[in-house]
Structure 1
Amino acid sequence: MALDLAFELMMLLTSGCALLVSAWLFWRARRRRSMKALAGFGVMMALWCAGHVAVFHGWERLGIALILANPLMPTFFLDFAVGFVNQGPGHTPWLDRLARHRGLLYLAAVLVSGVTLWFGGGGIIAFGPFDHYFVFQGSGWFNIGYTISVGVLAHTLLLWGFTRHRGNRKRSIAAMFAAGAWGLWLATSFIFPSLGLLWYPWPMLLLPSYVLLLVYGVVRYQMLEVNAWANRALLWTLLTLLVLGLIALFSAMAGSFGMQALANVPQWQLWLYSMLLLLLMLALYRPLNKLVERLIYPGSRLDEQLLDTWLARLRDAAGWQELAREAEQLLSRQMGQSVRVRLLAEPPLPEPGPGLQLWCLHQPGGWQFRLLGFDDVTPGMRLTADVFASLLATRCGLLERSLQLAEAERKRLSEQHLVELGGLAAAMAHELRNPLNIIAMATAGLEASRKTMIQHQLQRADRLISDMLAYAGQLQIQRRPVALAPLLDSLQSQFDWQQARFDYRLPPGFTLQADPYRLQQVLVNLIDNALAFVRNQEGGRLLLEAGDRPGSLCLHNNGPAIPADLRDRLFRPFVTRRSGGSGLGLAIVQRIMDAHGGQIRHSAELGWPVSFELYFPEEHTP
């Protein structure tokens, strides 16, 4: 192939690549002015290359005008650099002012181009394989000097931005510098004939790579689809080089194998045929790929729009039931038949039922999926189910973490509320007990009956204050083994039994892992609450016995059964059926059991009208 023709083809290829990339950038830029300026740089690169082609074909005035317009090329790049650097943490006022006066930069570039064109800044010479080649003359050196100065200014600005930015923007600037060094080396050979060095500009044959590398370096960290395109482009480039190398080797060895006719074919023709064949393969790849997918996976209709729809619908589900219901609707619609979706967070696993089922299981390594009943579906439908199940498993993991964060935040706010409530309760208790003490001292001179009545009410008020402090305050639990029988014996003298009978049945040496003071508080509240209903009842009885598992107790009484409408809210504060009660006794017991990591629940199924089951774990559960 003639060297002048090779140079012309590279200029045309560079121009075409620059126009295509610029059009794509302008389409994707939307409101990002910096990307539009980079698209303008690409357009000027295309015109500059077109100017060389015009010179080759004898259109000298047009070609010289396009080449001498090259100051606009670095001006567009400077405009891009200003916008690219002046974003995020690198935003500065002086760059804002420069951006507002960018019009002056373009005006200066146009004036330099016009003046050098008017004063004949370029000429045409013949050397080597070229009959027409552009060289700078006279004022043209001012043109190239201005162009280089603006380019240096743009790269200096990028270097300053490199020190200010982090992350992907910093990586983009580094990639631009690497592409700029590559472009500088390529363009240097273009200047040599103007300096009297009549060397063939070999590096200029690689000029198409410059604009592609520059734009790719900018957008590879900004637009993910560019990386997918670059992956395919690099693959096809390597495949092309491999094919061309094999063709050259085969052509050189064809004569040795008796294929003289093939050996006589010019190598460039073989390369041209190979390139045409590769381009044909590239054009047919996507339709053939879709055809093969339909043959191998009939019935499969997966595409990016469908996957985006699935992700959006699954992302909108705020709970497990809603997620399972949404997943069933999406998969059943896609499969054309009913599919049951089950989200199983804990074993044991249920028995599989009939029909198609998708199970998402919570495993130690994360959420996994299992397809049941899919043995007889087509490969395409199985592929659809596999892809959907993978998305659903991922969404289950994200929802689990989201709910955990929400629960942690709820607990934090609850604990903060309790701290505030505890502080308020302590302040109120102090303010209330002062007037109560004054009232108690004022009863000293009253007659006995009236004094007794007032003292009884004062004790009730003091007990109510103590209950409020116990419920609202911070619970500090210090667990240790507590022998229960001696504790019960010491407590019996504190109650007014009024002929009610109290018994306990405990194994010898029975102990609980609990805070002694809080355990006493639990027993006092439960026994006092039961006595309020059985002490005036004939044959009233309380029984405390060990439960079926270690650390468990059952406190029974034969008082009236608790109404069904009260059982669900029995442990809430200020819920009581006891005359004169504060409604905080059982709520305090619930808080103490929670602080131990234990449980308390009411039962009417243990042979007694009222039973409370308590469980203190052997080890502390936070």
Structure 2
Amino acid sequence: MTLSLLFEVAMLVSSVCGFLVAAWLLWRARKQGDLQALAGFAIMMAIWCFGHVVLFQGYERIGIYIILANPLMPTFFLHFAIRFVNSGAAKEVMLDRLLQAVPWFYVTSFAVVLQSWWMGAGDAIGTLDTRSFFIFTDAGTWNLAYTVLIGILAHGVLLFGWYRHSGNKKRSILAMFGVGAWGLLLATSFVFPSFGISWFPYPMLLLPTYLLLLVYAVVRYQILSVNAFANRALLWVAMMLVILCLIAVISVVSGRVGLQALADVPSWQLWLYSLLMLVMSALIYQPLNRLISRVIYPGAVLNETVLEVWSSQLKEAQDWTQLIGIGERLLSSQVRQNVDIRFDSVDETQQEDNGQTLALSVFRSESGWRFLLIGWNDASPGMRLTAEVFGSLFSTSCGLLERSLALAVAERKRLDEQHLVELGSLSAAMAHELRNPLNIIAMAAYDSPPETRQHIQTQLKRADRLVSDMLVYSGGLTLQISTTPLRSLVKSIVAQAQLEGISCEVNIPESIALEADPQRLQQVFINLIDNAVAFLRNQPDGKLCIEATMNADAVVILVHNNGPEIDDSLQGEVLFQPFMTKRAGGSGLGLAIVRRIIDAHGGHIQHRADTAWPVTFELILPQHSAYSRLGNTSHDTK
């Protein structure tokens, strides 16, 4: 093979690669302006290389005209560089202005090309084994200078982008600079004959690699399929190099071991035969792989499309029931048999496999979601493989749904807490505003008849109590922690209470003292005693008992009364919710305020129905406040 023929083949391969790369970029680019401009660069480079082929075939005038269009190549590359560097959130004013001037660069490049055609800026000389080769004439100096200038400007834009950007884009620009240096090395030999240097342009034989490396440097961080293609391409190159080395070793060793016929075969033929075998192996690999899979796993049709459909449909599930429904439909459709999917515990999955019903058992373990096939012993290998792949994907979907539901619960809780804060602020504002009209009503009723004034005063006290409770419940609690003797506190509250003939017994040892806010604790007992008196008032033998005991780190307080038992509908947490009451004239906030104060102290309150009394409230308060242990005397809680 002569050098001129080798050069022609290299130019033809570069041209074909350029058109293929341009078509692929246009297919992937869609609305990406930078890749469209890069596709234009690939097309112009393909046309430019084809111009050399045309020139070698004897069509000198056409070939010269095509090669003289080379200013359009760096113009397309400049357009690409501007769009590539200026893409993303951050826009540069200078690049925006340069982008607006791109049409003028194209117009100028066309003008230079037309001027080069008109002035005869190119010619052909007989070199390279008497084959024609392009050279610039004196009139082509402007063409060459303009092409170099636009190329420098394009790489200057890339240099600016490398300085301004970071991450993948910066790495892409750095890779483009490396490829640009490679392209400059290859293209330099093109102008040697124009300067009278009689040297064969060997570097241009590697020109097909420049365009492929440039495109790979641009899109390797944007399109993952390019990396997969590059991975396969590098594997092929490595395998061809290994074959080349093996052929060299075989050529040397075969004659010495008695295989003279093999030693007489030219090395390039051995390498060519091996390369053809490698190509044939690559072509039949996928069909053979599918055939063998069907022989080993008959009935299993698993590919990327099926897995993508499974994954996308399982992600649509919003709850566990929907996830099971989608999973059973997908797996049953794939294996053409009914399959049950169920959630079990780890122990339940150890049941015997009876082989009668196909089932996929999914369970939560310490290491995450796992699955177990039940009833698949008599299934074909293909069905088992399908079930195992689906089970793995379904287990992953369970983990995703679990995290999604947990996030949804947390978000609902956050919104509920935000709503409660807003509602508390609104209640506090309304309570403050209600006090003004209540005061006006009280003053207006001063001159009314005594019976009417008494009735108005009673209702005003009730309204004022409701306003006070709303302010306490909706506002923030400020705890002033101090050592509080419990017995003396409760005795003082009982002495001031209007018991109206109700007997009250206090069984609290003198030694019990709490680290608590005495004012807030006083409010707790006032609300509990008032609530009990309201129900005991019309009962002939009303009794109230308050007792307390102390264990290692807490004080347990029991408040009993022999009033009517609490309705079953109000048992549990409902009893302590605001506005949940059957007490006539009550605000419905008394027990809610009590629980809020107890919670602020780090304690707990509950209603107990297992004592000898009809009604018992149990309060558990820490003997030593957490705030006092930290050295604080006050604490604000919302």
TM class by smaller structure: 0.7 to 0.9
- Letter aligned with residue 576 of structure 1: T
Tell me if the contact between 1:183 and 1:210 (Cα under 8 Å) persists in the aligned partners.
yes
Q: Any residues of structure 2 matched to 1:7-406 within 5 Å, and which?
A: 7-92=7-92, 95-127=95-127, 131-320=131-320, 322-323=322-323, 325-334=325-334, 336-342=337-343, 351-352=348-349, 356-361=359-364, 363=366, 367-371=368-372, 373=374, 376=377, 378=381, 379-396=384-401, 398-400=403-405, 402-403=407-408, 405-406=410-411
Distance of aligned partners of 1:276 and 1:496 in 2 relative to their CA distance in 1, 3 Å threshold: same
Match of residue 463 from structure 1: 465
Distance of aligned partners of 1:576 and 1:401 in 2 relative to their CA distance in 1, 3 Å threshold: closer
- Letter aligned with residue 342 of structure 1: F
Q: Distance in 2 between matches of 1:343 and 1:593?
A: 40
Using the TM superposition, give the Cα deviation of residue 78 of structure 1 relative to its aligned residue in structure 2, in angstroms.
Answer: 1.5
Tell me if the contact between 1:544 and 1:556 (Cα under 8 Å) persists in the aligned partners.
yes
Tell me if the contact between 2:3 and 2:128 (Cα under 8 Å) persists in the aligned partners.
no
Moved more, 233-242 or 520-529: 520-529
Match of residue 580 from structure 1: 585
Distance of aligned partners of 1:241 and 1:432 in 2 relative to their CA distance in 1, 3 Å threshold: farther
Counterpart check, 1:413 vs 2:418: yes
Match of residue 564 from structure 2: 560
Using the TM superposition, give the Cα deviation of residue 257 of structure 1 relative to its aligned residue in structure 2, in angstroms.
Answer: 2.1
Q: Distance in 2 between matches of 1:478 and 1:311?
A: 57
Match of residue 473 from structure 1: 475
Using the TM superposition, give the Cα deviation of residue 271 of structure 1 relative to its aligned residue in structure 2, in angstroms.
Answer: 2.1
Match of 2:597 among 580, 592, 599: 592
Distance of aligned partners of 1:476 and 1:3 in 2 relative to their CA distance in 1, 3 Å threshold: farther
Using the TM superposition, give the Cα deviation of residue 553 of structure 1 relative to its aligned residue in structure 2, in angstroms.
Answer: 5.7
Return 5+ residue gaps in structure 1 as ranges: none
- Equivalent residues, number: 613
Match of 1:527 among 521, 526, 529: 529
Using the TM superposition, give the Cα deviation of residue 20 of structure 1 relative to its aligned residue in structure 2, in angstroms.
Answer: 1.5
Tell me if the contact between 2:341 and 2:359 (Cα under 8 Å) persists in the aligned partners.
yes
Using the TM superposition, give the Cα deviation of residue 513 of structure 1 relative to its aligned residue in structure 2, in angstroms.
Answer: 7.5
Distance of aligned partners of 1:476 and 1:314 in 2 relative to their CA distance in 1, 3 Å threshold: farther
Using the TM superposition, give the Cα deviation of residue 103 of structure 1 relative to its aligned residue in structure 2, in angstroms.
Answer: 3.4
Using the TM superposition, give the Cα deviation of residue 480 of structure 1 relative to its aligned residue in structure 2, in angstroms.
Answer: 8.0
Moved more, 329-338 or 133-142: 329-338
Q: Distance in 2 between matches of 1:195 and 1:276?
A: 42
Tell me if the contact between 1:79 and 1:99 (Cα under 8 Å) persists in the aligned partners.
yes
Q: Distance in 1 between matches of 2:210 and 2:375?
A: 52
Using the TM superposition, give the Cα deviation of residue 472 of structure 1 relative to its aligned residue in structure 2, in angstroms.
Answer: 0.5
Using the TM superposition, give the Cα deviation of residue 70 of structure 1 relative to its aligned residue in structure 2, in angstroms.
Answer: 1.3
Distance of aligned partners of 1:159 and 1:303 in 2 relative to their CA distance in 1, 3 Å threshold: same
Tell me if the contact between 1:311 and 1:391 (Cα under 8 Å) persists in the aligned partners.
no
Q: Distance in 2 between matches of 1:135 and 1:129?
A: 16
Tell me if the contact between 1:501 and 1:542 (Cα under 8 Å) persists in the aligned partners.
yes
Using the TM superposition, give the Cα deviation of residue 525 of structure 1 relative to its aligned residue in structure 2, in angstroms.
Answer: 2.2
- Letter aligned with residue 356 of structure 1: A
Q: Deviations over 1:160-185 (max 9, x none)?
A: 23333333333322222222122111
Q: Deviations over 1:263-308 (max 9, x none)?
A: 2222222222222222222222333333344445444443333333
Using the TM superposition, give the Cα deviation of residue 420 of structure 1 relative to its aligned residue in structure 2, in angstroms.
Answer: 2.8
Tell me if the contact between 1:422 and 1:474 (Cα under 8 Å) persists in the aligned partners.
no
Q: Distance in 1 between matches of 2:196 and 2:143?
A: 18
Q: Deviations over 1:212-241 (max 9, x none)?
A: 111112112222222222222222222222
Using the TM superposition, give the Cα deviation of residue 473 of structure 1 relative to its aligned residue in structure 2, in angstroms.
Answer: 0.4
Q: Distance in 1 between matches of 2:58 and 2:3?
A: 18
Q: Distance in 2 between matches of 1:506 and 1:308?
A: 71
Using the TM superposition, give the Cα deviation of residue 448 of structure 1 relative to its aligned residue in structure 2, in angstroms.
Answer: 8.3
Q: Deviations over 1:456-483 (max 9, x none)?
A: 4444333222201111001345778876
Moved more, 497-506 or 248-257: 497-506
User: Alpha carbon RMSD of aligned pairs, Å?
Assistant: 3.8
Distance of aligned partners of 1:73 and 1:474 in 2 relative to their CA distance in 1, 3 Å threshold: same
Q: Deviations over 1:114-156 (max 9, x none)?
A: 3323433333334455633222222233222211111111111
Q: Distance in 2 between matches of 1:607 and 1:40?
A: 93
Distance of aligned partners of 1:244 and 1:488 in 2 relative to their CA distance in 1, 3 Å threshold: farther
- Letter aligned with residue 560 of structure 1: P
- 1:574 match: secondary structure: coil
- 2:315 match: secondary structure: helix
Distance of aligned partners of 1:436 and 1:297 in 2 relative to their CA distance in 1, 3 Å threshold: farther
- 2:123 match: secondary structure: strand
- Letter aligned with residue 593 of structure 2: I
Distance of aligned partners of 1:535 and 1:423 in 2 relative to their CA distance in 1, 3 Å threshold: closer
Q: Deviations over 1:406-434 (max 9, x none)?
A: 14632552364156336525743764676
- 1:257 match: secondary structure: coil
Tell me if the contact between 2:360 and 2:391 (Cα under 8 Å) persists in the aligned partners.
no
Moved more, 567-576 or 524-533: 567-576
Q: Distance in 1 between matches of 2:598 and 2:407?
A: 28
Moved more, 598-607 or 239-248: 598-607
Tell me if the contact between 1:38 and 1:76 (Cα under 8 Å) persists in the aligned partners.
yes
Tell me if the contact between 1:22 and 1:42 (Cα under 8 Å) persists in the aligned partners.
yes
Tell me if the contact between 2:425 and 2:475 (Cα under 8 Å) persists in the aligned partners.
no
- Letter aligned with residue 198 of structure 1: S
Using the TM superposition, give the Cα deviation of residue 85 of structure 1 relative to its aligned residue in structure 2, in angstroms.
Answer: 2.6
Distance of aligned partners of 1:450 and 1:397 in 2 relative to their CA distance in 1, 3 Å threshold: closer
Using the TM superposition, give the Cα deviation of residue 42 of structure 1 relative to its aligned residue in structure 2, in angstroms.
Answer: 0.7
- Letter aligned with residue 589 of structure 2: L
Q: Any residues of structure 2 matched to 1:583-622 within 5 Å, and which?
A: 583-596=588-601, 600-602=605-607, 609-612=614-617, 614=619
How high is the TM-score relative to the length of structure 1? Answer: 0.85
Q: Distance in 1 between matches of 2:131 and 2:559?
A: 111
Using the TM superposition, give the Cα deviation of residue 24 of structure 1 relative to its aligned residue in structure 2, in angstroms.
Answer: 0.9
How high is the TM-score relative to the length of structure 2? Answer: 0.83
Return 5+ residue gaps in structure 2 as ranges: 352-357, 628-636
Tell me if the contact between 1:358 and 1:389 (Cα under 8 Å) persists in the aligned partners.
no
Tell me if the contact between 1:369 and 1:393 (Cα under 8 Å) persists in the aligned partners.
no
- Letter aligned with residue 3 of structure 1: L
- 2:112 match: secondary structure: helix
Moved more, 12-21 or 414-423: 414-423
Tell me if the contact between 1:64 and 1:123 (Cα under 8 Å) persists in the aligned partners.
yes
- 1:125 match: secondary structure: strand
Tell me if the contact between 1:369 and 1:389 (Cα under 8 Å) persists in the aligned partners.
no
Q: Distance in 2 between matches of 1:319 and 1:482?
A: 51
